[in-house]
Amino acid sequence: MEVIFGVSGLRGVVGEGLTPELICNYVSAFAKEIPPGKVVIGNDSRISSEMVKNAVISSLEALGFDVIDIGIAPTPTVQFITKSKNASGGISITASHNPEKWNGLKFIEGNGIFFNEKKVMSIKANLAEKNFKFQTYDKLGKLTIDQDAKDTHANTVLKKIDLSCIEKRNLTVAVDACNAAGSEFIPAFIEKLGFNIIKYNCNFNDTFPRNPEPLKENLTLFSDFIKENGCIDIGFALDGDADRVAILDEHGNYIGEENTLVLATRFFLENMAPLNKTVVTNLSTTRALDDIASYFGGKVLRSKVGEINVVEEMIRVNASIGGEGNGGVILPMIQYARDSLSAISLILLGLSKSGLPLSSIVSEIPKYYMVKDKISISRDDFEENIDKVKVFFSGYPYTNIDGLKFELEDSWIHIRPSNTEPVVRIIAESKSPIKAKRLVDETKTLMKSS
């Protein structure tokens, strides 16, 4: 099985493509794109992460880079520490939302931002050349362990998003961390915010108890847990590297990844009153975000899918908040990264200040129905059949900056090759669930036709 490499990093199945030799080559190709110095690394809790980390450390040391290991940590913490330590770069060892047999690397620049498409292309060129400069025995890099990294990240968020200005409600928060990178850190952070915490799947010494992607179908047991408990006000479900957050209400109802950014944006605009109310998200995020931003006097701009694409557009327009409809919230006042700490802080701030149950707040969000599907076809087949889709939706405005997205009167559909899997994603949203499904089904038929 081949590995996947793009703006979302390197991912592959351990033993079926992701090998120590391949890891060494990718790390060495990455190292040619950063200045000499130190590299921050952190990892999620997959069984294979120790093996991958050892390969990463050995490669960096052999190239003459000093390594700062922050241990099991969310990807946004690796990004935050990379910038705060003035490191040359960073590597998060994770396959994010992919199943446990996968692992991978996310490459980070010294400013804490992921490598963009141009840098990814440079890595690919370096891999082809393989002209790596390994050092002699007396010039090898050194390894240090930073046990304070997570506290440094958390304390900065606590200072920037100050919940001490409001009277705390006695809220109880449940966290399903999938026994992954956020298992200890996120519950401890929520306790620092001043709320009660109940842990669920928060033991990173155990294997993943569910698919790490925080989708509704993967969170049924967490939902049942909240229902049966009876005293939980909100539930947060994390993915493998804890940069994405899905929400469940006090009844265990799945609020979903899409509405994480919607709620965070609402509470940010409502309670923190930024001067610049520009919001940036990707093409596949719900229109409810536009409605919420407009209500508070803001506007939404859209980029290609992928955190780095959203970040670069945010920097270009000086947006005050942004993110993706996959549970990722980017708050520049903290850092240009999808950061679960930022998302959780904003949502708990708004929930606490409102005095209302979460279900009541969610009921005020404009109602849209989104259908997400995917088909296993190659990029060549995608390009070959996309003209049929254009003909089918002729007359409707569209953008082609990332696959194709068509804007209909009360709905939209987006068709694009995935950055993380060998599939083409088809996403539609409408005021009508029947119409959203019909749009996806019709498009799947067109894309599969020869």
Residues 246/262, Cβ–Cβ less than 8 Å: no
Cβ proximity of 351 and 358 under 8 Å: yes
Return d(Cα 257, Cα 280) in angstroms, integer.
Answer: 16
Q: With beta carbons less than 8 A apart as the criterion, state whether 222 and 176 touch.
A: yes
Longest Cα–Cα distance in the chain: 67
Neighbours of 60 (CB within 10 A): 25
Tokens for 11? 């991912």
Q: Report the alpha-carbon distance of residue 183 to residue 75 in Å, rounded.
A: 13
Q: Which residues share a beta bridge with 405? A: 399, 414
Whole-angstrom distance, CA of residue 388 vs CA of residue 154: 50
Catalytic-role residue among 8, 45, 96, 183: 96
Active site annotation includes 96: yes
Instruction: For helices 149-160 and 75-84, give the axis angle rounded to 10 degrees.
Output: 90
Contacts of 128 (CB under 8 A, 6+ apart): none
B/e letters for 86-108, b = 16+ CB within 10 Å, e = fewer, are ebbbbbbbbbbbbebbbbbbbbb
Q: Where are the alpha helices (DSSP H) in 318-371?
A: 340-354, 358-362
Calpha distance 193→73 (Å, rounded): 19
Could you count the other beta carbons within 10 Å of the beta carbon of residue 318?
11
Q: Which residue numbers are catalytic?
A: 96
